[in-house]
Structure 1
Amino acid sequence: MTTPNRQLHLNLFIYPAGHHEAAWRYPGSAPDRVLDITYYQELSRRAEAAKFDAVFFADGPALPDNIRYASRFRLEPFTWLSGIAVATERIGLIGTASTTYFEPYNLARLFASLDHLSRGRAGWNIVTTGAANAAQNFGLDEHPVHAERYARAHEFVDVVTKLWDSWEDEALVVDPESGVFADTDRIHPIDHAGKLFRVRGPLNIPRSPQGRPVYVQAGSSEDGKALAARYAEAIFTAHQTIDSARSFYADIKRRAKAEGRDPDQVKVLPGLSPFIGSTEAEALRLQREFNELTQPEYGLEQLRRVLGVDLSGHDLDEPFPRELIPDDPELNAGSRFQLIVGIIDRERPTIRQLLHRLAGARGHWVTAGTPEQIADRIEEWFTTGAADGFNVMPPYLTGGFDAFAEHVVPILQRRGLFRTEYTGTTLRDHYGLPRPRSRFAAPVVPAPRREPAASAPA
């Protein structure tokens, strides 16, 4: 049974040609347009027409090692999302930015500017960056270890939050009569002096329409869940089974409550990459067509990077050699490491089968079926404590998204699970999140309770 008024949240997660690693080779994709902003504007308008909560754009500060075989370059998200902001009106705009390779002040300015530009539609996907080869792009000899990156992330988010709060809502006066443009008593230095950052503030931009952009987080390790429980308002996560998703969902809600937060204000949004056909056989055939276009070298490089195991020269149709995975605490701490090892231990695949499992969406849930079947699976996860919605990851673009928007979304709408119209204008509105007050604002003092007047004697 669904809770009355509870609605699915759906984001369109855009990868250049689609999420399947061979998407750019598929005849229905558009690899010639992956550097064309109008391509992304058109996709975002389609998502807005389908009443999606947001479009999401991933990022990383290094070129992937396996660019030879897939469209995995990185467009800078603030420029990209600004181009989408001017072509849309209501859909949210979520971009990734690393707490390891940004400075808090610069990042706070960029997201505050995007929130103003879009009239309150910005969201920050908080990551610590897992790509070790990013370090040399920023003058570092080595990539910081997992625990150090998360320690920095906690203080980083705290500093950014203070900066976004440094202007109270009433600070911008703009009163031509008095000649006062801003009330400087309501603009506050943050004077942060921590273990890693010293930032005086205030931010040089007024408070943004949402108060603060929506905090999104995408790590599912123990450190990642701790960060999410304290700060995240939406969580992107990867699960292969509904039982795993339910366990994660319950754990995150419990952790948020322990932090003194309302668990309903933390939206858990697993990734979903659907192959859709008029029949289940057609959908499965489409999935096989994509897997047959893969280059094994791409997937083997992914396994080397995530698991630390080099399988070049191995027979791809032999069982995966589980014993070759090294016992490396730094690798073991990663949520994607744990997810892939879980597949190996649970399913005992061949190397080729594992490569195909990961080809679809890098470990996110890949499913194939008719629109009704896809809607049924979404509803089951949504109504049984596994998800508050999904990050929709089309295998290829634009056709993979068109099939979902045209055939699955109407079913969800008819079932009363997803909106037919927007009821708000900001990303916080779409997610049902409150607009936070500045921490520097004076506390709201409730009006004194007035006792009813005594009745006059008869």
Structure 2
Amino acid sequence: MRQMALVAFLQAQNCSDFAASWRHPEARRDSWSPEYYQHIARVLEAGKFDLGFFDDRLSMPDMYGRDHAHTVKHGIRCVKMDPLTILTVMGMATTRLGLGSTASTTYFEPFDVARTFGTLDLMTHGRAAWNVVTSVNDGEAENMGQARHMEHDLRYDRADEFMEVVLGHWDTWEDDSIVQDRESGVFAIPEKVHRLDHKGRFFTSRGPFTVPRSEQGHPVIIQAGSSGRGRRFAAMWGEVIFVAYRDLEQAKREYAAQKAAVAAAGRDPEQFKMCNVLHAIVAPTQGEAEDKCAKIQALALEIDSLSLLSEALNFDFATKGMDEPFTDEEVAGISGMQTMRDRVLQVSGKKNPTPRDFIQATGRGLMRHPTVGTPKQVADKMEQWFVERGCDGYVVGATHIPGAYEDFVNLVVPELQRRGIFRKEYMGATLRENMGLERPAVGEWRRRTAI
């Protein structure tokens, strides 16, 4: 029977993806300690989650007003640590939970990303995943030695070649290349260790790569691009994709379209998991859940939304009044998450929306459209979307930590298990085994690029 995938949406910062989460009276206050992340990892593994995944940015949200003071004062994602280091800490506290992190193709080098994630994969016995992003704003560019952020489609052109280099390096060591024959003195068979010698438009990378393959072959590839160019990229390279649909009928259409795109790229659509974002506020009774939701909603501030919109869209919202329309030039000049901009134009029905329209249409910085109710009610919705092929699973965000994950594991997971759509035990030792993804053969990806 088809099984639902569950991914926890984590942040290596002072809050969850809900910026106001740190203000919750039950939120832990040691989000920069190893104990904090190890506790989360143990909770997720007890709930048989496939993966704990870290989103990341390479700068504070300081685009608003071109200053970081508001970010620090209000705690708007102002602490941002290296998620890969934290995954190592979490890996030491678990044995089955998958461990995923974001790394940018715009600001890192392919060999370094390949080696870091390849090593993490070995150190966790095949539980690593890499979320491929192209980054979003000028603040990240300035932190990484660039004057401004690269143009949208050009970032994806670079990312395509980045993937070829990374996967090429991960193919260096054949599975049976290491023999460690002490008698003959042969450690590995030279003919089974290959040099890449890549020379392309964006990258030159010689090799040979220095990290052997892991139990799962290589890390699982995650992607979340939702623009037209991003979807094409996901169809070519992604194995797990994160989406954020609110309407089931739209989700079903997009699910079918994306799976068809994967098939057109010469891949098996069943080896491509689409996971929809979910924020669940759950309690034993509907009334208790609604009370919890009201308290959570009250935590958000207007500055949260304005700051995070500025970050995501690479535009300083402090230059506009709340009800002042954007000019045609300003709308066209947004260079960050263009899908978010397009959604605002569609939802508002305005050619020149205002900052207030942006907040209302995106819900950025707010806890928008949470699934609120009893374990049965939450599971009913999850099951409907899953069974009707609106998604293959969920990326579960937290209203506060660790309580939101504990509630989900203690209340919702048992209900999903009773229905037979979510496992009671892990299926294997590696992330691929648990997500139902095949172990890739050396060179498997090259068949896609030849189509």
TM over 0.5: yes
Matched, 1:27 2:31: no
Q: Which residue of 2 aligns with 1:50?
A: 47
Matched, 1:310 2:280: no
Shift of 1:355: 8.6
SS of alignment partner, residue 368 of structure 1: strand
Instruction: State, as a whole percentage, how many aligned pairs show the same letter.
Output: 37
Look at both structures and tell me which one has the larger radius of gyration over its CA atoms.
Answer: 1
- Matches of 1:24 and 1:379 in 2, distance apart? 30
Query: Which of these residues, 362, 369, 373, is aligned with residue 373 of structure 2?
Result: 369
Shift of 1:331: 3.8
Shift of 1:353: 7.3
- Matches of 1:229 and 1:303 in 2, distance apart? 27
- Matches of 1:111 and 1:349 in 2, distance apart? 39
Evaluate the alpha carbon distance shift between residue 13 and residue 333 of structure 1 in structure 2; reply closer, same or farther with a 3 A threshold.
closer
SS of alignment partner, residue 56 of structure 2: coil
Q: Which residue of 2 aligns with 1:69?
A: 74
- Matches of 1:141 and 1:313 in 2, distance apart? 24
Query: Which of these residues, 393, 417, 423, is aligned with residue 419 of structure 1?
Result: 423
**CA offsets per residue over residues 123-168 of structure 1, 9 Å max, x none?**
0000000122111122211210111110100000110000000111
Shift of 1:305: 4.1
Between 367-376 and 113-122, the greater mean CA deviation after superposition: 367-376
SS of alignment partner, residue 317 of structure 2: coil
Matched, 1:401 2:411: no
**CA offsets per residue over residues 56-82 of structure 1, 9 Å max, x none?**
111121122234323512210211111
Evaluate the alpha carbon distance shift between residue 168 and residue 344 of structure 1 in structure 2; reply closer, same or farther with a 3 A threshold.
same
Amino acid at match of 2:277: G
Amino acid at match of 1:69: H
**CA offsets per residue over residues 287-314 of structure 1, 9 Å max, x none?**
2222222221121223344454737785
Matched length: 431
1:24 touches 1:71 (CA, 8 Å); kept in 2?
no
2:305 touches 2:359 (CA, 8 Å); kept in 1?
no
> What are the residue-to-residue correspondences of 1:217-228 with 2, within 5 Å?
217-228=223-234
> What are the residue-to-residue correspondences of 1:307-386 with 2, within 5 Å?
308=315, 310=317, 326-328=330-332, 330-331=334-335, 334-345=338-349, 354=360, 357-360=363-366, 366-386=370-390
> What are the residue-to-residue correspondences of 1:181-196 with 2, within 5 Å?
181-196=187-202
- Matches of 1:309 and 1:344 in 2, distance apart? 20
1:332 touches 1:338 (CA, 8 Å); kept in 2?
no
SS of alignment partner, residue 358 of structure 1: coil
Query: Which of these residues, 439, 444, 447, is aligned with residue 435 of structure 1?
Result: 439
Amino acid at match of 2:52: V
Query: Which of these residues, 138, 149, 152, is aligned with residue 143 of structure 1?
Result: 149
Evaluate the alpha carbon distance shift between residue 261 and residue 91 of structure 1 in structure 2; reply closer, same or farther with a 3 A threshold.
same
- Matches of 2:47 and 2:61 in 1, distance apart? 32
Query: Which of these residues, 101, 108, 131, is aligned with residue 107 of structure 2?
Result: 101
Evaluate the alpha carbon distance shift between residue 58 and residue 414 of structure 1 in structure 2; reply closer, same or farther with a 3 A threshold.
same
Q: Which residue of 1 aligns with 2:2?
A: 6
1:299 touches 1:355 (CA, 8 Å); kept in 2?
no
Q: Which residue of 1 aligns with 2:66?
A: none
> TM-score scaled by structure 1?
0.88
Between 246-255 and 303-312, the greater mean CA deviation after superposition: 303-312
**CA offsets per residue over residues 99-143 of structure 1, 9 Å max, x none?**
001100011000010000000000000000012211112221121
- Matches of 2:180 and 2:76 in 1, distance apart? 48
1:150 touches 1:224 (CA, 8 Å); kept in 2?
yes
RMSD of aligned Cα (Å): 2.6
Evaluate the alpha carbon distance shift between residue 309 and residue 78 of structure 1 in structure 2; reply closer, same or farther with a 3 A threshold.
closer
> What are the residue-to-residue correspondences of 1:159-178 with 2, within 5 Å?
159-178=165-184
1:273 touches 1:360 (CA, 8 Å); kept in 2?
no
Amino acid at match of 2:398: P
> TM-score scaled by structure 2?
0.89
Evaluate the alpha carbon distance shift between residue 312 and residue 257 of structure 1 in structure 2; reply closer, same or farther with a 3 A threshold.
same
